[in-house]
Amino acid sequence: MRVILKIIVIFTIALMPTAIFAAEQINIIPPYNIAVYDATIKKLYVNQTTNKRLEYFSAAFLGQRYLNGALGEGVEGEFDQSPLYRSDAFDCMTYVATVLALLNANTVPEFKETIKKINYQNGLVSYQNRNHFTSTEWNPNNEKQGLIKDITVDIHDQNNRSVAKTISVYINKKAWYEQKTFSSIKLLSAVTPEEQQQLLERLRGLSREMSNQDSHVPYVPLTALFNKQGQPNEFVFDQIPSGSIVEIVRLNWNAKPHLGTKLDVSHLGFAVRTKEGLVYREASVVKNKVVDIPLAEYLRDYLNSSTVKGINVQLVLLP
């Protein structure tokens, strides 16, 4: 599953020594019916009557339940057999990826190929090719494909000066793999304890194929989005395009004890202008479903956070 989505759940779980892992079990996930997802996607395309496709596709999933680690490598996956795509449940990254794939396709077969390219390097499906890390994998790989464009530095103040700052974090992919546990493995049917151990060893062994990486993320600071009284700076908020992807950026957020690495992006969703104003359309772990919440209201809650510093803005490039 996507790293940024695991954090909220994993923060409450202390990693146990390897010797204790024998008592832990892999996750046996419920069976799923791809035909049902295909029918839903086909219906979305058939019923589309607006040229505001992103608003239409993103709104279609409002109310759908939140599911941590909603997607995987499908029934043929070695470590995670969750579906490659679905229409009934999402975490924050899989929700954004699903809407982006719908936007860049017009049929179910096109959608299937597109979502592979969005979620996997070069569209090659495997756990190690999945874009687990937002800042160093998902963003740059989809920017290269011309699906999104980082416009954070273009957001300016009334003197036409960029308000953006940059944070730098060392992403330790090797350690992230090395700290995998049995709970990281999700299969459709049970395997023997010996097979579980072999799977875990192979999963951890993927660390040898990984390269660690420095991440540099531009962000619009909360101090530019709000004044000292906590009131939103409408001049800045008005520059966030409707349909853009807004990512929550953190500084000095040390997930290393739990995941083996520090991280810099913890959440993402769409900024959408509606009759009620600019909302954040997100798969919310707090609300346990896909919801709309006023973006300023959502961000205001972070003003006293010791780690959340601002937002990265990715423009969705329309096909």
Work out the mean pLDDT of the chain and round it to a whole number: 93
In Å, what is the CA distance from 233 to each residue of 83, 129, 164, 236? 41, 40, 15, 6
pTM comes to 0.92
CA angle 144–146–147, rounded 5-degree value: 110
Per-residue pLDDT band at 319 (split at 50, 70, 90): confident
Q: Is residue 84's pLDDT more than 60?
A: yes
d(CA 234, CA 119): 34
Per-residue pLDDT band at 2 (split at 50, 70, 90): very low
Is residue 309 within a helix (H) or strand (E), and if so which, with residue range? strand 308-316
Neighbours of 21 (CB within 10 A): 16
Domain CATH for 140: 2.30.260.10
Question: What is the per-residue pLDDT across 294-304, written as a single tens digit (0 to 9) for each?
Answer: 999 999 999 99
pLDDT at 24: 73
Question: What is the per-residue pLDDT across 49-63, written as a single tens digit (0 to 9) for each?
Answer: 988 999 999 999 999
Per-residue pLDDT band at 14 (split at 50, 70, 90): very low
Token code pair at residue 133: 């890390």
Mean local confidence (pLDDT), 61-72: 98
Domain count, the chain: 1
Question: What is the per-residue pLDDT across 210-244, written as a single tens digit (0 to 9) for each?
Answer: 999 999 999 999 999 999 999 999 999 999 999 99
Identify the domain containing residue 248 by its residue range. Answer: 3-316
SS3 label, residue 40: helix
